Amino acid sequence: MEKMLSIVIAAYNEEKRIPDSLRKIHDFGIARGLDAEIIVVDDGSTDRTSEVVRELTPLIQNLKLIRYEKNRGKGYALRTGVLASQGSLVLVSDADLSTPIEELDVLREHLDDKGCHVAIGSRALALSQLIRKQPWWRRTMGKTFNRFVKLLIMKDFCDTQCGFKLFHGNVARNLFSRARIDRFAYDVEILALAKKSGYRIAEVPIRWINAPGSKVDPVVDSLQMLKDLLRIRFSLGNVKSYRACSILIR
């Protein structure tokens, strides 16, 4: 029997990009015969994000919208969506589909066939295909952040921040229910919790196409992410010694 899939998307001022993304997800689901729900969490947008999602609701089966007024951060939005999900599998994806939805097939084989609990897309492995790269300042920011992750938290992963991650449903809901980081460093907390819990994690090369219109502030968000890494280190300790099986598919 086909497992039900929940696709959770955090959206902040995405009125221009999210309609095309939702149509692509819908068409992919139809082509694959997926039993899927799509949960869009509007993270306090000030544009028409919620309105355009509502307009698509009659056209896209099992499209659901969660909205709240105040911007709380990507981690908070995804936590809200994951905890509302019902799927046996849960995919978290960026609203711009920088990782094309077809890469779900690549991640899924590691859960279905290879006994993993979590499979994460990675832009930093030899077989990753970066069709359009991020601007230099985003690449520099990402590399610097990853060095801090390895220094403070864990050395397992080459790319914690790719926004395309697949979980067994009960694993996702367990991890996100325990998470406390509300903004962009949420990925590190989720992976640290997964490692500490002994879950089997695969880091998998994916195809990735940078989309313009990033919401990341290079100064404000960099400082917040460093602060959040220290919070993770304080709350979880050094997780380098925990023996979760982390697999890099090079």
CA-CA distances (angstroms) from residue 217 to 79, 110, 159, 222, 223?
A: 22, 34, 19, 7, 10
Indicate if the pLDDT at residue 122 is higher than 70.
Answer: yes
Record the tokens describing residue 147, joined without a space: 């060095």
- Residue-level pLDDT at 142: 77
d(CA 190, CA 183): 12
Assess contact for 123 and 37: CB atoms under 8 A: no
CA-CA distances (angstroms) from residue 156 to 108, 152, 165, 242?
A: 20, 12, 16, 11
What's the DSSP call for residue 33?
A: T
Record the tokens describing residue 130, joined without a space: 């970066």
Q: Which comes out higher in pLDDT, residue 146 or 90?
A: 90
- Residue-level pLDDT at 1: 47
Tens-place pLDDT, residues 184-203: 899 999 999 999 999 999 99
**Highest mean pLDDT out of 13-17, 140-144, 233-237:** 13-17
- Residue-level pLDDT at 79: 98
- Residue-level pLDDT at 220: 79
Q: Which comes out higher in pLDDT, residue 219 or 187?
A: 187
Residue 53 three-state SS:
helix
Could you write out the three-class secondary structure of 145-168?
HHHHHHHHCCCCCCCCCCCEEEEE
d(CA 243, CA 220): 34
Domains in the chain (CATH in brackets) are 5-248 (3.90.550.10)
Please give the share of the chain, as a percent, with pLDDT higher than 70: 90
Please give the share of the chain, as a percent, with pLDDT higher than 90: 70
Indicate if the pLDDT at residue 217 is higher than 80.
Answer: no
Tens-place pLDDT, residues 67-76: 999 999 999 9
Tens-place pLDDT, residues 98-119: 999 999 999 999 998 788 999 9
- Residue-level pLDDT at 248: 58
Confidence tier at 219 by pLDDT (50, 70, 90): low
pTM score of the predicted model: 0.92
